[in-house]
Every structure is written in structure tokens, then in C-alpha cells.
């Protein structure tokens, strides 16, 4: 069973989309994780992340992407 959760240690991390995505090629490269989809039955358990909802900086839109993201270390 997979569940969407906002209770995860990855929420709020800045990430860069994978360069092969259309959004990245359009210049919408960076964003913040706002929600993740885990394969755990318990939302408090930090199970394997399947996909993430990312609020992108340039367009300010939220997209669901597979978890092929790069963490931005500043």
C-alpha cells in the first residue's frame, strides 16, 4: 500500500529535477519537496519513497515526479 504523506524527513528539501525532464529543459530546474508517496502502511514510518510532489521555483507549480531528484547542497 502506498500513501501520500507530509510527515517525512525529506519534506522541505531543495532539489533539482533530473536533466532529462521537460520541466528542466524549460528552465524550471529547482524546487522544494512538499509531499512524498511512500510504500509504507504507516505514514510515520519513513519507508521507500516512490514519487514526490515538488513545488518548482520558476513556475510556482506543483508536479509529481519519480524520485530521480538531486538534492541541492548550498
Give CA–CA dist 39/51, Å, rounded.
Answer: 10
Q: Which residues contact 57 (CB under 8 A, 6 or more apart)?
A: 28, 29, 30, 31, 32
Residue-wise pLDDT for 27-69, tens only, equals 999 999 898 887 766 656 556 777 889 999 999 999 888 876 6
Phi and psi (nearest 5°) for 13? -75, 140
At 62 the pLDDT is 94
Task: Please list, residue by residue across 8-27, b when 16 or more beta carbons sit within 10 angstroms of its beta carbon and e when fewer do.
Answer: bebeebbbebeeebebeeee
What's the pTM? 0.74
Amino acid at each position: 500500500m502506498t500513501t501520500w504523506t507530509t510527515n517525512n524527513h525529506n519534506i522541505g528539501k531543495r532539489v533539482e529535477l533530473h536533466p532529462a525532464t521537460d520541466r528542466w529543459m524549460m528552465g524550471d530546474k529547482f524546487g522544494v519537496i512538499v509531499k512524498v508517496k511512500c510504500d509504507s502502511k504507516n505514514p510515520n514510518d519513513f519507508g521507500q519513497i516512490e514519487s514526490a510532489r515538488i513545488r518548482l521555483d520558476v513556475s510556482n507549480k506543483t508536479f509529481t515526479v519519480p524520485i530521480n531528484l538531486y538534492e541541492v547542497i548550498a
